[in-house]
């Protein structure tokens, strides 16, 4: 039986909430003590938004609600004794809170759940609850390390190289991409063919490496051509991607875990494939294997701009050592 909790249930609520509090693996995250939490339980009990599930005269679970400003209410706490679970009590308790909140004018109900709590998340999703707000958490030391790294980072720049001598085909393909880039981009430059490659430089792509990779994919897909996006990110790492008919066939990042820890397989996948590079660019695979090393930190490799130049030269690519700002000075370059 689900019913509204009364003052007579206070002792049972405190007992169950203490058990609930002890099961929370990250209870310190909330920054409150059990005594403070129990004080809030008493407040909710007094507000008439505490419900209990009763079985054979004993309280087997509880649900607590809070009315927020505007149209939102909160299912703040929900707990059922372990031996009484899988009987639908949690569902019925949540329904009681939702009904009470609706009677008080709420049109939405939210709740807090840990990302790692997969069973609870699955249950809530089946009730129709979906992500609305996201709370991000980090250990302070890890956050300080990453913020320090970001503060020391330099600029990003890069270019896209299309394997063709037909600049008349590349330019309109680039023009189709221009509306997709950042609205405040200064412009795009297309260079004449050099060693069988036409280079494309874009100011917005220099600021956003993801946009650079998107441009390379778009051009490869539209033209059915081999394209290469290559550049320096944050002044620290070198990344290239090779596309063939719009599909990534090789990717390299000089420090695979520069942006965060990766599963071992994903980290290995960011190492160069010399055979693929040789097939698509004519590079010597032994030279690519020597140059395209990966490391756990940028300091273990040559400076990023130097490494970029070495890789580009091995692939017989010209003009990869700079970005948009210097591209306008290339003889024969066209602004798009």
Q: What is the pLDDT of residue 286?
A: 96
Tell me the whole-structure pTM to 2 decimals: 0.60
The token pair at 118 is 């997969």
DSSP letter at 249? E
Cα separation of 287 and 292, whole Å? 8
> For 229, how many CA atoms within 13 A lie in the half-sphere containing its CB?
29
The tens-digit pLDDT sequence of the chain (336 residues) is 999 999 999 999 999 999 988 877 655 555 678 888 899 999 999 999 999 999 988 999 999 999 988 899 999 999 999 999 988 999 999 999 999 999 999 999 999 888 878 888 888 999 999 988 888 888 888 888 777 776 777 899 999 999 999 999 999 999 887 655 545 456 899 999 999 999 999 998 998 999 999 999 999 999 999 999 999 999 999 999 999 999 999 999 999 999 888 888 999 999 999 999 999 999 999 999 999 999 999 989 999 999 999 999 999 999 999 999 898 888 888 888
DSSP 51-64: EEEEETTEEEEEEE
Angle between helix 167-177 and helix 209-223 axes, rounded to 10 deg: 130
pLDDT digit string (tens) for 169-211?
999 999 887 655 545 456 899 999 999 999 999 998 998 999 9
DSSP letter at 117? -
Give the strands of the sheet with 108-110, arranged side by side.
2-4, 50-55, 58-67, 72-80, 108-110
Domain ranges across the chain: 2-126, 150-335
CATH classification code of 2-126: 3.40.630.30
- Listed in sequence order, the residues at least 6 apart from 332 whose beta carbon sits closer than 8 Å to its beta carbon are 191, 192
Residue given tokens 């505490």 in the structure block:
50
The token pair at 10 is 């206070």
């Amino acid at each position: 039986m689900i019913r509204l909790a009364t003052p007579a249930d206070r002792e049972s609520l405190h007992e169950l909430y203490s058990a609930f509090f002890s099961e929370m693996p990250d209870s310190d995250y909330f920054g409150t003590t059990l005594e403070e939490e129990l004080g809030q339980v008493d407040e909710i009990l007094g507000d008439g938004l505490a419900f209990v599930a009763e079985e054979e005269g004993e309280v087997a679970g509880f649900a607590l609600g809070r009315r927020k400003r505007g149209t939102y209410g909160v299912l703040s706490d929900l707990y059922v004794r372990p031996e009484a679970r899988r009987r639908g009590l949690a569902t019925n308790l949540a329904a009681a809170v939702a009904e009470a909140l609706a009677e008080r004018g709420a049109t939405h109900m939210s709740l807090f759940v840990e990302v790692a709590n997969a069973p609870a998340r699955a249950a809530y999703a089946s009730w129709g609850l979906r992500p609305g707000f996201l709370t991000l958490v980090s250990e302070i030391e890890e956050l300080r390390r990453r913020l320090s790294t970001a503060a020391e980072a330099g600029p990003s720049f890069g270019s896209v190289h299309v394997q063709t001598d037909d600049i008349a085909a590349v330019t309109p393909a680039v023009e189709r991409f221009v509306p997709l880039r950042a609205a405040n981009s200064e412009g795009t430059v297309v260079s004449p063919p050099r060693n069988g490659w036409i280079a494309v430089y874009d100011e917005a792509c220099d600021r956003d490496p993801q946009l650079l990779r998107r441009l390379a994919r778009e051009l490869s897909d539209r033209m059915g051509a081999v394209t290469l996006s290559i550049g320096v990110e944050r002044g620290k790492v070198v990344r290239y991607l090779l596309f063939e008919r719009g599909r990534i066939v090789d990717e390299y990042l000089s420090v695979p875990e520069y942006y965060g820890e990766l599963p071992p397989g994903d980290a290995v996948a960011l190492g160069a494939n010399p055979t693929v590079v040789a097939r698509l660019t004519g590079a010597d695979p032994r030279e690519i294997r020597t140059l395209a090393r990966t490391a756990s930190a940028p300091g273990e490799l040559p400076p990023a701009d130097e490494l970029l130049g070495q890789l580009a030269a091995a692939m017989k690519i010209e003009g990869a050592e700079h970005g948009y700002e210097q591209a306008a000075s290339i003889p024969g370059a066209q602004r798009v």
